[in-house]
Amino acid sequence: MAWNTISGGGRRRTRFGVAATLVLCLAAGAVLSGCAGTAVGVGATAGVAAYQERGFEGAARDLKTQAAITELWFNFDHTFVVRLGLNVYEGRALLTGAVDDAKVRADAVRLAWKATAVKEVLNEIQVTDEGGPLVVARDTWVTAQLASRITFDETILAINYDIETVTGVVYLIGIAQNQAEVDRVTAHARTIPYVKKIISHVRVKGAS
């Protein structure tokens, strides 16, 4: 599984399953400079998306929604895209990050709702002065540790989860096969050093 970390403004963003950008290239039919020469990677990513509970089309819709929110943020304040985290799953936009100004959080939420395909905005942006290189490094390590543990746990379909960690708080979003699977993921998270809290926005398969 691929990992991507973006740092800036004293916070970080680590996404689980970041190769999905290539799926967006296919789904939108766009020819982007960053997608040149990626035929093999695109094929592999499309296969990954097809195995997710939301399917290829669902993943593509979420990526288009994420791109729309990112564009709204960038046009309003280009620093939002590095100061804040964004995961969209089944039209539910999870906003994360650590900022020192409540107005930034309010603006980010307001803009996210402007994306037409957004069904729900999950505002988990922290207003705090906690941050710095050490916190960034710990958060990145925690996310990597949890992703590794659930990936190698045969009772968990890790492909259906996105993970974010901000100032020691682990955020989860995705689709679980059942409540026992969610409980197992959170149990893994609790055993990782530096984890202060776990907030799950995971939907259990079949639940409304």
Render pLDDT for 104-122 as a digit per residue (tens, 0 to 9): 999 999 999 999 999 999 9
Per the domain annotation, does 55 fall within a domain? Answer: yes
pLDDT number for residue 178: 96
The answer to whether residue 1 is domain-embedded is no
Report if residue 33 sits inside a domain: yes
Q: Taking the model in full, what pTM does it have?
A: 0.79
pLDDT for 46:
53
Q: pLDDT value at position 185?
A: 98
The pLDDT score that the predictor gives to residue 55 is: 86
Tell me which residues of the chain have a pLDDT lower than 50.
1-45
Report how far residue 145's alpha carbon sits from residue 166's, in angstroms, rounded to the nearest whole number.
14
Q: How many domains does the chain have?
A: 1
Q: Which positions ≥6 away from 99 have C-beta within 8 Å? A: 9, 11, 83, 84, 105, 125, 126, 127, 128
Tokens of 86: 């964004």
Q: Is residue 2 part of a domain?
A: no
Closest-CA residue to 140 (of 13, 19, 17): 13
Record the tokens describing residue 108, joined without a space. 């980010």
Cβ atoms 181, 192 nearer than 8 A: no
- pLDDT for 207 equals 80
pLDDT at 51: 65
- Cβ proximity of 199 and 171 under 8 Å: yes
Q: Which domain holds residue 61?
A: 8-208
Q: Is residue 3, in this structure, part of any structural domain at all?
A: no
Domain contains 137: yes
